[in-house]
A and B are shown apart, each in its own frame.
Chain A
Amino acid sequence: EPEVTQTPSHQVTQMGQEVILRCVPISNHLYFYWYRQILGQKVEFLVSFYNNEISEKSEIFDDQFSVERPDGSNFTLKIRSTKLEDSAMYFCASSSRGFETQYFGPGTRLLVL
């Protein structure tokens, strides 16, 4: 069964550094998403991406964040100048169409020291 994959599974970085989180969505899906979950809190939407552009972003997704689909298979989330409060589990998801079921990857746990 096709699945969303994410790398790395864990990342530790120093405050102020840049990190890139990678995702490989399900191959025939066209819509891609990033969510985050701070420890013990609810899963929060960050951004959705379709047709090589952002279709929606939340208030959390400020200039510190960017997304890219650098090739036909990868979908990345870049966090510039990381802050302590960026420590969270970051989930990638994909769907075949808008309003269709979103399938999630296993997540990348980011720890900013």
Chain B
Amino acid sequence: GEDVEQSLFLSVREGDSSVINCTYTDSSSTYLYWYKQEPGAGLQLLTYIFSNMDMKQDQRLTVLLNKKDKHLSLRIADTQTGDSAIYFCAEINQAGTALIFGKGTTLSVSS
């Protein structure tokens, strides 16, 4: 079945770049997403990428997609303490009716 895997923790210093990685199993996924969850809060859509793209850039965020390896990454440039949160990778299922989430990567940014 569909599954999404992420590393659980990442710790960086303020100003550095952060790279959060994700692998997924369903090669037919059309959309892949990154959501951000701050403590006690809901899921905020950060960005998404369509499966026919290799890269998408949105201000400090860069998403890279390697379809051959089923690997997705989120790069945050000039990471700030306000970026500290849990980042979830998600793929849409084949029917387009449900998101399959990874366990989330906790990003800790120290000053």
Contacts and interface: CB of A to CB of B under 8 A. Distances in A.
B93 to A, nearest CB: 8
A99 B99 contact: no
Nearest to B41: A106
Contacts of A104: 35, 42-45
Contacts of A45: 98-100
B42 A106 contact: yes
Nearest to B102: A42
A43 B43 contact: yes
B82 interface: no
A42 B42 contact: no
Interface of B: 30-31, 33, 35, 41-45, 48, 88, 90, 92-93, 95-104
23 contacts: A31-B97, A33-B98, A33-B99, A42-B88, A42-B104, A43-B43, A43-B99, A44-B101, A45-B98, A55-B95, A56-B93, A56-B95, A93-B99, A98-B95, A98-B97, A99-B30, A99-B92, A99-B96, A101-B31, A101-B33, A104-B35, A104-B42, A107-B42
